[in-house]
Amino acid sequence: MWRARCIERCPPGSGSGPGKRAGRKAGTAPRADFHRPATHSLVAFIDETRDRFGGVEPICTVLAAHGISIAPSTYYAARKRQLTPSPRIVRDEELKERIKEVYESNYRVYGARKIWRQLNRQGHEVARCTIERLMRELGIAGAVRGKKVITTMPDPAAARAPDLLDRDFVTPAPNRTWVADFTHVAAWSGVVYVAFVVDTFSRRIVGWSASMSKETKLVLDALDMGLWQRDRDGRPPTPGELVHHSDAGSQYTSFRLAEHLDAARIAASIGSVGDAYDNALMESTIGLFKTEVIKPQRPWKTLSHVELATAEWVRLVQPPPTPR
């Protein structure tokens, strides 16, 4: 009867491998297709029946006689682990709470890599593989990027600056190369355009702007914010050193922007039309913005709604300030 109850309580597939359990007489060898139930299943069975059948030892003796071997010490050790969790289990539970905290406070879009970096910045030393394992146990995952929307509209009549970067976005110091681009957000009140300017040295967003219009003023405002912020921080660009790189959109090839860059002694650089690799760093930043802000928080209502969310996101994703 105990064997029948155990097989019912520990059905095929709960052991170490596939196979069917077949009954046999006591004292005979087990069949080749017989597999012992998993220890946790046997422990649960003993917990359920120990009061009815005289304790742990008699049940273990009868189970062993029927080819289902579990020592009383194994049962007690398993129960002790359940009642007194190991240090690893305790730490895992603490880390799970911290992971959920970081995940929830960042729009539920951070993946294992970003959560790992954030926890280490907070002083919690943990391996990235541990974060991945615990996120799987929690059933959470970071946002996955979708297809991007192309917004570059070139002006065939406009004179275009040369490509000074040639896809080389590595610089030795801040304020040497800034890359710029903009994207659009569908809102109830209309289309909102958001422009960014990023310093390639630290990947820091130095300036951004949002508008219901995609005229040149949109990209000028983002550039001016970058210049103002660097001046405010006491590290303005050295005249003649900074390069402003963008795609070949009409806003970036306009005379008004060219005049503005010339007045600030900033060299203009423009990539080819429709080639994302020529402005790959900005494509990556905008893709991240869409994935972490725009998609999770839809629908968007107004320009101010998008502005507030963008300002908060820019504050969150900024790397630590570069030492002087």
- pLDDT per residue over 187-217, tens digit each? 999 999 999 999 999 889 999 999 999 889 9
Please, which residues have CB within 8 angstroms of residue 284's CB and are 6 or more apart in sequence?
A: none
pLDDT of res. 118: 93
Q: Which residue has the higher pLDDT, 275 or 200?
A: 200
Find out whether 42 and 63 touch, Cβ atoms under 8 Å: yes
pLDDT band per the 50, 70, 90 thresholds, residue 22 = very low
pLDDT band per the 50, 70, 90 thresholds, residue 237 = very high
Please, which residues have CB within 8 angstroms of residue 73's CB and are 6 or more apart in sequence?
A: none
Q: Which residue has the higher pLDDT, 171 or 114?
A: 114
Find out whether 180 and 242 touch, Cβ atoms under 8 Å: no
What is the spatial distance between Cα 246 and Cα 165, in angstroms, rounded to a whole number?
A: 10
pLDDT of res. 40: 83
The structural domains of the chain, with segments of one domain joined by +, span 2-83, 87-138, 177-317
Count other C-beta atoms under 10 Å from residue 260's C-beta: 19
Residue with tokens 């050193």: 241
pLDDT band per the 50, 70, 90 thresholds, residue 150 = very low
Q: Quick one: what percent of the chain has pLDDT higher than 90?
A: 46
Kindly report, residue by residue over 60-86, the tens digit of the pLDDT.
Answer: 999 999 888 899 999 988 888 878 878
* Segment (H or E) for 180: strand 177-187
List the CATH code of the domain at 177-317.
3.30.420.10
pLDDT of res. 38: 84
What is the spatial distance between Cα 199 and Cα 321, in angstroms, rounded to a whole number?
A: 12
pLDDT band per the 50, 70, 90 thresholds, residue 266 = very high
Please, which residues have CB within 8 angstroms of residue 241's CB and are 6 or more apart in sequence?
A: 175, 176
Residue with tokens 């203009």: 268
Helix (H, G, I), strand (E, B) or coil at 161: coil
What is the spatial distance between Cα 116 and Cα 122, in angstroms, rounded to a whole number?
A: 10
Find out whether 154 and 253 touch, Cβ atoms under 8 Å: yes
pLDDT at residue 26 greater than cutoff 50? no
Among 33-37, 117-121, 199-203, 251-255, which is the least confidently predicted range?
33-37
Kindly report, residue by residue over 216-228, the tens digit of the pLDDT.
Answer: 999 999 999 999 9
What DSSP state is assigned to residue 55?
S
Q: Which residue has the higher pLDDT, 70 or 145?
A: 70
